[in-house]
């Protein structure tokens, strides 16, 4: 089953009525339900714009996006998506339990359903002992794990992760990756954008390399490395983009 289907998507931002260089240029890719897809590229390649179009925050100028055969943007497509931004913001005076009830109401979950889901979910991301602590007291790793909990509250089929390991210490990254692996084993497809290439190499079954809004190359990590002669994804990435101009996202 195809969890995410992006076909011929283009988007151009405008400033003062003038079009800027295309942020996305005829981008096409697919993510199967059994995949963890790594979406890689230098700053300004179009990664953030792609995520915004999947979430329905931006409408593409051309092309189509489908999540489990539901065309984006519409309410039926959003119910299948969980999203963890790079820098999630939460009300610091609320506890994880209170915050989950808040987000659950936004999803339209009944109180009975929320009570059924919250404790197992907090246990799943390893912060159940902090269920009644204020989020403002959390460390970066604890906050990130709660961010994952809220992204999973609606039982999504597609989880979108934007730099999920950014700012975590080595131990925090290891624990977070273990949690993500368990989530994926439960049948959740993942679309992951990250600059921590060693982590992407260990997590992702497939990667796509994007530059100036175009998908340049795609495949599983081992095949790409074998064909290029590089030993790891970081050296492959640096060699590919070191001589190319980049702009900020």
- The verdict on 174 and 213 lying in the same domain is yes
Q: What is the CATH number of the domain that holds 226?
A: 3.40.50.300
Q: How many domains does the chain have?
A: 2
- The verdict on 95 and 198 lying in the same domain is no
Measure the CA–CA gap between 207 and 217, rounded to whole angstroms: 8
- The verdict on 165 and 52 lying in the same domain is yes
Q: Is residue 157 within 8 Å of residue 189, measured between CB atoms?
A: yes
Residue 247's pLDDT band, with cuts at 50, 70 and 90, is very low
In this prediction, residue 64 carries a pLDDT of: 95
- The verdict on 8 and 70 lying in the same domain is yes
Residue 245's pLDDT band, with cuts at 50, 70 and 90, is low
In this prediction, residue 234 carries a pLDDT of: 87
pLDDT at 184 over 60: yes
Q: Phi/psi of residue 141, each to 5°?
A: -65, -40
**Can you tell me whether residue 193 is helix, strand or coil?**
strand
Measure the CA–CA gap between 21 and 11, rounded to whole angstroms: 9
Boundary-marking domain end, from 155, 171, 191: 155
Between these two residues, 117 and 199, which has the higher pLDDT value?
117
Task: Report the chain's mean pLDDT, rounded to a whole number.
Answer: 90
- Counting Cβ atoms within 10 Å, is residue 120 exposed (0-12), middle (13-18) or buried (19+)? exposed
Model confidence pLDDT, tens digit, residues 144-162: 999 999 999 999 999 999 9
- The C-alpha angle 77, 79, 81, rounded to 5 degrees, equals 80
pLDDT at 7 over 90: yes
Residue 240's pLDDT band, with cuts at 50, 70 and 90, is confident
% of the chain beyond a pLDDT of 70: 97
- The verdict on 38 and 59 lying in the same domain is yes
Model confidence pLDDT, tens digit, residues 54-101: 999 999 999 999 999 889 887 777 888 999 998 888 999 999 999 999
In this prediction, residue 246 carries a pLDDT of: 46
pLDDT at 17 over 90: no
- Counting Cβ atoms within 10 Å, is residue 109 exposed (0-12), middle (13-18) or buried (19+)? buried
- The verdict on 68 and 168 lying in the same domain is yes
- The verdict on 249 and 163 lying in the same domain is yes
- The verdict on 70 and 174 lying in the same domain is yes
- The verdict on 60 and 179 lying in the same domain is yes
Measure the CA–CA gap between 58 and 47, rounded to whole angstroms: 13
Closest CA to 37 of 213, 179, 166, 158: 158
Question: Considering the entire predicted model, what is its pTM?
Answer: 0.90
- The verdict on 185 and 175 lying in the same domain is yes
Q: Is residue 54 within 8 Å of residue 223, measured between CB atoms?
A: no
Close Cβ partners of 80 (under 8 Å, ≥ 6 residues apart): 67, 68, 70, 156, 157, 158
- The C-alpha angle 25, 8, 16, rounded to 5 degrees, equals 40
Measure the CA–CA gap between 110 and 233, rounded to whole angstroms: 45
Which structural domain range is residue 105 located in?
88-155
Scan for tokens 């939460």, then name that residue: 90
**Residue 137, both tokens:** 């007291």
Residue 244: how many other CB atoms lie within 10 Å: 10
């Amino acid at each position: 089953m195809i969890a995410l289907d992006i076909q011929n998507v283009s988007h151009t931002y405008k400033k003062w009525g003038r079009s800027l260089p295309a942020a996305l240029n005829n981008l096409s890719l697919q993510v199967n339900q059994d995949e963890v897809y790594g979406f890689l590229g230098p700053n300004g390649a179009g990664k953030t714009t792609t995520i915004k179009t999947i979430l329905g925050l931006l409408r593409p100028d051309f092309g189509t996006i489908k999540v489990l055969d539901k065309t984006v943007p519409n309410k039926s497509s959003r119910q299948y998506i969980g999203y963890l931004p790079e820098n999630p913001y939460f009300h610091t005076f609320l506890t994880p339990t209170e915050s989950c009830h808040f987000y659950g109401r936004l999803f339209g979950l009944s109180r009975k359903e929320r009570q059924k889901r919250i404790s197992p979910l907090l246990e799943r991301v390893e912060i159940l002992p902090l269920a009644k602590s204020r989020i403002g007291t959390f460390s970066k790793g604890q906050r990130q794990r709660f961010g994952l909990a809220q992204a999973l509250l609606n039982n999504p089929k597609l989880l979108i992760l934007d730099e999920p390991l950014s700012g975590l210490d080595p131990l925090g990254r290891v624990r977070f990756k273990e949690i993500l692996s368990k989530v994926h084993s439960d049948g959740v497809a993942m679309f992951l954008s990250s600059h921590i290439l060693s982590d992407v190499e260990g997590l992702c079954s497939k990667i796509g390399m994007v530059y100036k809004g175009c998908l340049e190359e795609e495949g599983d990590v081992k095949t790409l490395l074998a064909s290029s002669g590089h030993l790891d994804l970081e050296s492959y990435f640096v060699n590919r983009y070191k001589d190319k101009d980049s702009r900020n996202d």
